[in-house]
Structure formats: structure tokens, C-alpha cells
Amino acid sequence: MKTKHNFGAGPCILPQEVFEEASKAVLDFNGLSILEISHRSPEFIDVMEEARSLVKKALNVPDGYTVLFLQGGASLGFLISAMNMSGANKKAAYVNTGAWAKKASKEGKNAGLQVDIIASSEDQNFNYIPKGFDISSDYDFLHITTNNTIFGTQFKSFPETSVPLVADMSSDIFSKQIDVSKFDIIYAGAQKNLGPAGATVFIVKEEILGKSTHQNIPTYLNLLTHHEKDSMFNTPPVFSIYVSMLNLRHLLANGGVAAAEQRNEAKAALLYNEIDSNPLFKGTAVKEDRSNMNVTFVMTDDALTDEFNKMWNDAGLVGLKGHRDVGGFRASMYNAMNIDSVEVLVEVMQEIATKKA
């Protein structure tokens, strides 16, 4: 039985019921283990189809979009999205909101595109989301990272543009309602909010399939390949997809994304409120762009860090150490995190403040 509160940035926590059901399927899934069944078996084809359709249901994906479960993580998604979106002008615009966004733009170059960073928050160590920038209409696409896992910032609204929009949503997909019709490609590694590592979900406007101007696009990296094969071109990551499907069932049975969004807002409000009112702590991201998924903060007196570390460790919290690019602390509060866990963290923060007052 789990005894700790996991604030780690990924892989993510999942609902206890999902862990339990997944563990049963490891031992017995229609007389075999889920780990050994053929991906061509009718049982797994049903799982794949249900997973794809639950993604559509959870995010109200409009007609004309296909949902695919691929491998390679968002890191390969950087390249896949750029190759598949290569258009007439062979040039792409990227918003640089941090380490993952930068890696995405690097793969745009590897896809043979001219890459322009049209906006960046690097001047302030990525503590805000650039806004109000111009996007000339001759770009093949604009790429954004909707939630910046490392720096704790999140797009609260998406850029208005006539240029096709591509988004890495690895760390906030299914955490809030979105208008999928604004995007040509959305992609996300499963392990931040959907399921175990291994699968990468793609939501793709069917119109773009097969239109890439990239020469000799490798078969696996061509999204048309996977669409034509119903996401079964080769052996998919069976277990990751199965558990993602269970998690989506659980999400939809508990009010869907709309209810998850409210729970996430309540958790974020609780913690940000403490950060803003407790004299020992300070948030690192500007208020209007703060992420509801990854909360980054530092202590106002570094000398207290060791003591605070010991206190939260003793309280059963794990994964709170900040990324080295930001320092301090990062509390990742993905969908499955209960507000009770956030309350434990807040109590520890209050306790150290009382001690030092």
C-alpha cells in the first residue's frame, strides 16, 4: 500500500483504483496477463479503440481529428510534429518558454525547417509566458509548450493566429478544458497526467495527414502511417495504453476534465495562497502565468532549506526538490493528486513558519 505523497514532476501519480485494476490485469486479463497478450488480439484492439475514443470524449475532440498512441515520448514528438507540419514555406515559429520548448525548436531544425524563435521569456529565466507577439502569416506552424513543467508557467489562453498551431501538452493535458479545434497537432507523453511512461498521445487534424513537404519522411514518423493502421502500425506499448484507458475511464466517471479542472484549481489556490502569505516562501513564476500543475517556489532564507527538507521528508512527501535550472522547490500536482496531499504540504510550511516566528 502506498504511504507517501508523490509531488514528483513525472512519471505521475494515478488514482489508487487504477493501480489496483492494472495490477489485476497483470495477473489475469481474460486468462492471460495484459503483459503477454497479442496486440492483434480482439481484447487488445478493444482496449486501443476505447482508449482512443475516451481521449476524444474527455477533450470533446471534434470530428475530423484522429487520436494516436505512439512511442518515443514528447521528445520524439518534437521531431514528428515538425516533420508532419512541414509546409510550403519550410519555416516554423516557436515560442521559447523553457527547456522543453527549446528542445522542440531544435528538432524543428533537425526536420530541415527554418526555425524562428518569435517570442521568449529566457530574459527572466522563463518565469513568465510571452504575450502579444506578432506572428507573420507565412509560417508553416507555430509551436507552443502549454505548460512549462520545469519553470512552473502555463498558457492561460492560447495565441490567436491564422498560422496552424502545434502544442506540446505533456504536463497539462486532461487537467483543464481546451478547444482542440484551435490546434493542428497536440501531443503529450503519457507519464505526466495520463498513464505510465511508454505511450505518447497525438491528437491530429486529419486534414494535415499526408501533406508534409518533408522529403523521405521515415515511415514510423509519418502520422499518416499510424492513422491508416488505426494506431496499430507496429507493436504499441500495450500496458501503457491499457492503464491510460483505465485512467480515462476513471476521469470520465468522476466528472471528466471539467471536474478535474475545478479540483486542480482548488489545489493550486491552496498552495499559492500559502506561498503568498507565508513569509518564509516566495513563488518564482509571475502570478498571472503560474501553472496549476507544477508549482515552483523558493525559501526567502536559504539557511532554512535543510530544516524544511527534513520536515517534508518526515511528513511522507516526495519529489519536492526543484529542478536545477530554478532551484528551490517544485510541487507537481497532477490530476490524481488529492487535495489532502496538498494540505499536508501546506501544514509543513505553516509549521516551519510558526517555529521561526
CA 297 to chain centre: 20
Size of the site for ligand PLP (CB under 6 A): 12
The CA distance from 231 to 236, in Å, is 8
From 5, 52, 176, 192, residue interacting with ligand PLP (rule: CB under 6 A)? 192
Residue 81 binds ligand PLP (CB under 6 A): no
Task: Name which of 75 and 305 has its Cβ closer to ligand PLP.
Answer: 75
Please list the residues that pair with 91 across neighbouring strands.
Answer: 114
The CA distance from 172 to 160, in Å, is 20
Residue 100 binds ligand PLP (CB under 6 A): yes
Stretch that binds ligand PLP, among 25-33, 73-81, 112-120, 177-185 (CB under 6 A): 73-81
The CA distance from 159 to 146, in Å, is 11
Q: Which DSSP string do the residues of 225-289 spell out, in sequence order?
A: HHHHTTT-SS---HHHHHHHHHHHHHHHHTTHHHHHHHHHHHHHHHHHHHHHH-TTEEESS-GGG
Residue 276 CB, shortest distance to ligand PLP, in Å, is 25
Question: At what angle are helices 339-356 and 305-314 packed, to 10 degrees?
Answer: 140
Residue 310 CB, shortest distance to ligand PLP, in Å, is 28
Task: Name which of 14 and 25 has its Cβ closer to ligand PLP.
Answer: 14
Cite the beta strand spans of the chain per DSSP E: 5-6, 65-70, 91-96, 114-120, 141-145, 147-148, 153-154, 165-168, 185-189, 200-205, 281-283, 294-299, 317-318, 329-332
Residues 9-48 that bind ligand PLP (CB under 6 A): 10
184 is catalytic: no
From 97, 149, 222, 247, residue interacting with ligand PLP (rule: CB under 6 A)? 149
From 12, 54, 61, 73, residue interacting with ligand PLP (rule: CB under 6 A)? 73
DSSP state for residue 131 in the 8-state scheme? -
230 is catalytic: no
Catalytic residue among 172, 192, 267, 289: 192
Task: Name which of 8 and 210 has its Cβ closer to ligand PLP.
Answer: 8
Catalytic residue among 168, 172, 184, 289: 168
CB 258 within 8 A of CB 177: yes
From 108, 159, 164, 189, residue interacting with ligand PLP (rule: CB under 6 A)? 189
From 60, 71, 75, 89, residue interacting with ligand PLP (rule: CB under 6 A)? 75
Stretch that binds ligand PLP, among 154-162, 163-171, 260-268, 331-339 (CB under 6 A): 163-171
The CA distance from 299 to 275, in Å, is 9
Residue 165 binds ligand PLP (CB under 6 A): no
The three cell numbers of residue 191 are 507519464
Residue 1 CB, shortest distance to ligand PLP, in Å, is 28
Residue 71 binds ligand PLP (CB under 6 A): no
Residue 168 binds ligand PLP (CB under 6 A): yes
192 is catalytic: yes
Residue 145 CB, shortest distance to ligand PLP, in Å, is 5
CB 164 within 8 A of CB 184: yes
Q: Which has the closest alpha carbon to 236: 51, 28, 78, 64?
A: 51
Residue 144 binds ligand PLP (CB under 6 A): no
The CA distance from 102 to 97, in Å, is 8
Residue 9 CB, shortest distance to ligand PLP, in Å, is 7
Stretch that binds ligand PLP, among 60-68, 84-92, 168-176, 253-261 (CB under 6 A): 168-176
Residue 171 binds ligand PLP (CB under 6 A): yes
The three cell numbers of residue 45 are 484492439
For the chain, the C-alpha Rg in angstroms (whole number) is 21
Q: Which residues are catalytic?
A: 100, 168, 192
Binding positions for ligand PLP, rule: CB under 6 A = 10, 73-75, 100, 145, 149, 168, 170-171, 189, 192
